[in-house]
Chains A and B, each alone.
Chain A
Amino acid sequence: MDFNYVIAMLLVALGLYCLLLKRNLIKIIIGLAVLTDGIHLFLISLGYRAGGTAAIVSGEMFLDLPGFAAHAVDPIPQALVLTSIVINICILALALSLAIYAYRHYKTLNPSKMRRLRG
């Protein structure tokens, strides 16, 4: 059953909805977080092996490395998601600090009311 894939894509669509239709900067930023979390979930799901174990060699597995390799899940998406999470934290931090400034300047978090730039 591809339940994981479907749920991950639902999260992506939900994030997209927040990002495009919400009128509050904080909610938009949350939408961004949900969107990327959906992608992370999808990536992790891609590396799942039915009935697999974590990609850590432990205990008696040291004696049976080929057996370990035949049962562990994919380590690559986990590494990618690790990298990607940090990147998204960075974006969120920057976005929130900009939101603080926007609020100081405009006294609102509604992006459609920030209309200095036109043309």
Chain B
Amino acid sequence: MAGAFLTPLVDVLAKRMNHPRARDYFALAVTVGTLLLVVDMATSVLGGDILVYKLGGWAPPLGINLAVDGLGLLVGLIVAGISTLVVIYSFVFMRQESGLGQYYTLMLLLTAGMMGVAFTGDIFNLYVFFEIMAISSYALVAFRRSKISIEGAIKYLIVGSLGTSFILLGIALLYGSTGTLNIADIASKLAVINTTSGSTPLISIIALTLFVVGFGIKVGMIPFHAWLPDAYQAAPSPISAIMAGGTAIVGVGALLRVSYFIFGAPMVGPLLIGLGLVTMVLGAFMALVQRDLKRLLAYSGISQMGYILLSIGLGTALGITGGLFHMLNNAVYKSLLFLAVGAIIYRVKTSRIDELGGLGRKMPITAGIFLVGALALAGMPPFNGFASKLTIFLAGIDAGYPILSGIAAIISVVTLAYMIRAFIAVFLGPQTGRFENVKEAPRSMLFPMMVLAAVCVVLGVLPQLGFSAVEPAQEVLLNPSSYIGEVIPGA
């Protein structure tokens, strides 16, 4: 069990190797190992336990501890699963690139950073792992070194490091006001401060704002989203997939952990609802006018993040369940769609919608998989997006905001419109002569896509599976005191 916490260590050792294939398989072995360890922990955490591991044996407020609760487990599971599939996908997709040693090392470091953010119980440690994740993703976006990838990476780097600096400033303010760095300890001390003074002091509000801006930049919330489509378009497709299905999810997870644990739901809720609403609506309308498939997916990813934040901001049990379930589903179908677009780019070398057409006959499996992803994204039954979006609508009505549910439903129709438009433009319609020799994507690229598509269908037909996975996360968010008690006995 404790071995799972050593994944960062293992990944540091993932140095470049001389045999070209050995390095691929090593990367795969590490991610599969990580996945197995997370699944191993899943059994006990889903049973309601919280695993606490004290690094170096120092007691929590002094030393650093790792704590795996429902939320961390959910995020860790998504990250480990997606990165395993993306590594398999990269075998063929990246074969013609140079510098693959660095590519796989950075990929493993990215995974390590995401796992660290998911599991850590110390707020400064969270910052350190967030930086590992951020720096490796900057380098991966720039990996191709073409004009657009350098431009995308620079924008991402400047905005992203502004965000991480804000997080550091927030941590400094919290240390200044509470004198501790352990998440559970900060939470209990801030609760004391809030109850004795009757209101929230200004410094907590400022710190919360800094955290929301900092994590919001990584998530791609609307006022801070400008870097995201550029970076997603510029990155190699597997990286876009891991960023959409991994880093964005980790950003949401970290935002939830910090905001709900430390500051409490009533303070965070309205903020998240507002930002989520704006993000959802504007993201969908910007997706409507995109001409590039990857940019379209990037904007629709922003819009889906809006759904998640909106639903979680409601603060009711149903809302949080719906939001977390949607987070799981979103990771699955969004990375599926990016991988499918990657397959198109691999065969056709372009992702501009106007240049594509009639690919359905040449690449039937990719077309089918893309359709599954598109329908799941739009929330059509029997795919997983339907179950979680329905939960979000019900939660909105249940919490007394039927208007929010109405807007969410309208946006869902808009989503269906732009996804169907993209599908028709790319896969149906007349075949142009250019694509005579286009073949189906190679098998090792189809395999990860098929796995993800299967997950879409399974979670759509049996939503109980998804609900049982997010249930512990929802409980721990609504009731952080069990987490606090587990980390610091007697607090």
Report whether chain A binds chain B.
yes
Residues of A bordering B, CB below 8 Å: 12, 15-16, 19, 25, 28, 32, 35-36, 39, 42-43, 46, 76-77, 80, 83-84, 87, 90-91, 94-95, 98-99, 101-102, 105-106, 111, 114, 116-117, 119
A90→B135 contact, CB < 8 A: yes
Q: Please, what's the 1-or-0 string for B148-180, where 1 marks a CB less than 8 Å from any CB in chain A? A: 101111110110011001001100100110000
Residues of B bordering A, CB below 8 Å: 124, 128, 131, 135, 138-139, 142, 145, 147-148, 150-155, 157-158, 161-162, 165, 168-169, 172, 175-176, 181, 229-230, 233-234, 289-292, 295
Known: A98-B142, A116-B147. A32 touches B291 (CB 8 A): no
Bound form: Cα–Cα A99–B142 in Å: 11
Q: Collect the chain B residues with CB atoms within 8 Å of residue A99's CB.
A: 154
Q: Collect the chain A residues with CB atoms within 8 Å of residue B165's CB.
A: 15, 32, 35-36, 39
Q: Collect the chain B residues with CB atoms within 8 Å of residue A80's CB.
A: 124
Q: Collect the chain A residues with CB atoms within 8 Å of residue B229's CB.
A: 117, 119
B291→A119 contact, CB < 8 A: yes
Known: A80-B124, A91-B131, A98-B142. A32 touches B292 (CB 8 A): no
A114→B131 contact, CB < 8 A: no
B135→A111 contact, CB < 8 A: no
Given A32-B161, A95-B161, A117-B151, 11 additional A-B pairs, CB 8 A? A39-B165, A42-B172, A46-B172, A90-B135, A98-B153, A102-B150, A117-B152, A117-B230, A119-B229, A119-B290, A119-B292
B172→A43 contact, CB < 8 A: yes
B135→A91 contact, CB < 8 A: yes
Which listed residue, A15, A35, A106, touches B147 by the CB 8 Å rule?
A106
B168→A36 contact, CB < 8 A: yes
Q: Collect the chain A residues with CB atoms within 8 Å of residue B155's CB.
A: 111
Distance (Å) between the CB of B370 and the closest chain A CB?
21
Q: Collect the chain B residues with CB atoms within 8 Å of residue A12's CB.
A: 169
Q: Collect the chain B residues with CB atoms within 8 Å of residue A19's CB.
A: 158, 162
Which listed residue, B128, B139, B151, B162, touches A83 by the CB 8 Å rule?
B128
Question: What are the 5 closest A-B residue pairs judged by CB atoms, nearest first?
Answer: A117-B230, A114-B151, A101-B150, A43-B172, A46-B176
Distance (Å) between the CB of B59 and the closest chain A CB?
15
Bound form: Cα–Cα A43–B170 in Å: 11
Interface pairs (5), CB distance under 8 Å: A12-B169, A32-B162, A36-B165, A83-B124, A98-B142
A98→B150 contact, CB < 8 A: yes
Q: Collect the chain B residues with CB atoms within 8 Å of residue A83's CB.
A: 124, 128
A28→B169 contact, CB < 8 A: no
Return the chain A residue nearest B134 by Cβ.
A91
Bound form: Cα–Cα A70–B139 in Å: 46
B233→A117 contact, CB < 8 A: yes
Which listed residue, B128, B154, B176, touches A111 by the CB 8 Å rule?
B154
Distance (Å) between the CB of B362 and the closest chain A CB?
27
In this complex, the member of A32, A46, A91 whose beta carbon has the largest number of chain B beta carbons within 10 angstroms is: A91
Q: Collect the chain B residues with CB atoms within 8 Å of residue A35's CB.
A: 162, 165
Bound form: Cα–Cα A105–B147 in Å: 6
Q: Collect the chain B residues with CB atoms within 8 Å of residue A36's CB.
A: 165, 168
Distance (Å) between the CB of A85 and the closest chain B CB?
11
